[in-house]
Amino acid sequence: MAHRPITEVNNSIARASHSVLVIGGGLAGISAAAQLAEAGYKVTLLEARATLGGRVFSFQDPQSGRALDNGQHVIVGACRNLVSFLERIDARHLWKLQPQLEVAVYDRGGRLGRLYGAPGPSPWHLLPAFLTYPHLNLKDKATTVLGLMAAMFTRRQQPHLEDMTFYRWLRAKSQSERTISNLWNVLIEGTLNDNVRDVSAAMGLMIVQDGLLGGHSAANVGYPTVPLSDALARPAQRYLESLGVRVVTGCPVRSVNICGEQTIRHVTLSDGNTMQADAYVSAVPFWVLPSLLPQSLAGSPTSTKLSALEASPIVNVHLRYDAPVMTGDFCYFVNSPLQWVFNSSRILGEADANVQQSLSVSISAAWEFIDTEREALVNLITDEMRRAFPKARDAALLEAVVVKQRNATFRCIPGANRLRPGPHTESPNLFLAGEWTDTGWPSTMESAVISGYNAAAAVMSSVGHRTHAPEQQRVRPMG
């Protein structure tokens, strides 16, 4: 009979005797809880809302009864930790990832361009797409190739690149205004939820280097083929509960309380009850965390940095027509308020897709529309739809649902990376997770998963358990 080493048995006993309270049931909290539970810790996960998922969720439209996503969420092949985590929770089959990059890009005149991956070694597999891209002239195409080569060989960790905008860097590399608007901003707006003129050069280069030039599958686009809560929250909760995690939803935390040398003693819930653990992981949004902390931590360096982070909005408009108006899964529009249009009927495999059609318009960096009244916004979007899709001119709009998220993501503006904390705090038993922490990634689901892993590793280190960094998995095409 084989026996486990005594040191391994003792470590398992030690971990099982330690309890961890995770506050926040988004991807960051979910991934942290999963790591800790798999390592043998006794984990409780608290979520204020009725379901897990955080800012990744679907809801039932009260008028139609249909499940609608709070916003169209996409992934790319470079999101290796996220894809691996979806596999762990038995949800990978619910997400489709392109076998090769294919993005249709239209201008307002209806001219079609394609960003696609061709056969050949990376990154040269992208060269045919750039050379045939109709939204650039011949000179633009030549300078684009030079700009890509410059990005490939630039060390983005140089401090000055965090202090300048990506727009300024691109202009210094002879990129024209047309190239920046019709190509570079296509890449940046959807990934960083901000304009190329406002993001840091360091983060813009990260997107280019890792998300575009990071290998044959790095830029391949993926999306859920079922409503978001079915694609993430429900399988995640089943997985956590199978590990023995106690998942408590509808349980807002009102405050975090300390004793002694800034050690967390317990958390107070909204109903006045308290919960206690050996370690605590906060996985709430950066603008929520300061309101939970005691006064002694509210003025800490970590809290001061968080107060300087900024957020960027996203607006989604769900449209349903009485007839199909578009083909394909999704497309992008340059210099148009539409930006991304997703064919929800096709993606979700709706039974009546040949009769009626559901579309989702996703508008990043939506400051222009975040305060626009619903009727005016719907009128503007439907006017643009008629301009963009000839079939929309004859189709009747059956319904329109507007979803606004004022604080959808944190902004990757110059200097923001220096404000992002690691998992440790000024309290010895309080740890941080969240896509806004220092993960090296922008405000994405991939960053959320990495942050959860980082927080779990920090907890394990605090009780003497040896840990490893998140494993970078090779991504296989899905769907």
Residue 310 region by backbone torsions, left for phi larger than 0, else alpha for psi between -120 and 50, else beta: beta
- pLDDT for 5 beyond 50: no
Bridge partner residues of 106 (DSSP): 112, 333
Given this model, what pLDDT does residue 354 score? Answer: 74
What are 107-144's pLDDT values in tens digits?
Answer: 988 999 999 999 999 999 999 999 999 999 999 999 99
Distance CA 477, CA 98 (A): 6
Helix (H, G, I), strand (E, B) or coil at 229: helix
- pLDDT for 10 beyond 50: no
Given this model, what pLDDT does residue 296 score? Answer: 84
CA-closest candidate to residue 68, choices 316, 235, 312 = 316
CB atoms within 10 A of CB 169: 23
Given this model, what pLDDT does residue 183 score? Answer: 97
Distance CA 129, CA 299 (A): 51
Query: Measured between alpha carbons, how far is residue 121 from residues 51, 153, 183, 216 in Å?
Result: 44, 17, 22, 8
Domains of the chain: 6-55+228-309+413-462 (3.50.50.60), 115-219 (1.10.405)
Distance CA 299, CA 293 (A): 9
Q: Are 475 and 80 in contact (CB under 8 A)?
A: yes
Choose between 7 and 278: higher pLDDT.
278
Structure tokens, 396? 């009747």
Could you please report the per-residue DSSP string of 278-339? SEEEE-S-TTTHHHHS-HHHHTSHHHHHHHH--EEEEEEEEEEESS----SSEEEETTSTT-
- pLDDT for 215 beyond 60: yes
- How far the first Cα of the chain sits from its last, in Å, is 44
CB atoms within 10 A of CB 458: 20
Q: Specify the DSSP class assigned to residue 32.
A: H
Choose between 469 and 63: higher pLDDT.
63
The band of 469, judged by pLDDT with boundaries at 50, 70 and 90, is very low
Given this model, what pLDDT does residue 465 score? Answer: 53
Given this model, what pLDDT does residue 353 score? Answer: 64
Element (H, E) at 402: strand 397-410
Given this model, what pLDDT does residue 134 score? Answer: 97
> What's the 3-state SS for 120-163?
CCCCHHHHHHHHHCCCCCHHHHHHHHHHHHHHHCCCCCCHHHHH
Q: What are phi and psi of 41, to 5 degrees?
A: -80, 155
Given this model, what pLDDT does residue 191 score? Answer: 96
The band of 297, judged by pLDDT with boundaries at 50, 70 and 90, is confident
Q: What is the pTM for the complete model shown?
A: 0.93
- pLDDT for 11 beyond 90: no
Q: What are phi and psi of 405, to 5 degrees?
A: -125, 100
> What's the 3-state SS for 174-195?
CCCHHHHHHHHHHHHHHHHCCC
What are 67-108's pLDDT values in tens digits?
Answer: 999 999 999 999 999 999 999 999 999 999 999 999 999 998
Share of residues in the chain with pLDDT > 90 (%): 87
What are 333-377's pLDDT values in tens digits?
Answer: 999 999 999 999 999 998 776 789 999 999 999 999 999 999 999
Given this model, what pLDDT does residue 472 score? Answer: 44
Q: Specify the DSSP class assigned to residue 418.
A: G
Q: Are 422 and 438 in contact (CB under 8 A)?
A: yes
Given this model, what pLDDT does residue 473 score? Answer: 40
Q: Cis (ω within 30 of 0) for the bond into 428?
A: no
Share of residues in the chain with pLDDT > 70 (%): 93
Where do the H-state alpha helices sit in 173-253? 177-179, 185-192, 201-206, 228, 234-242
Given this model, what pLDDT does residue 295 score? Answer: 84
- pLDDT for 416 beyond 80: yes
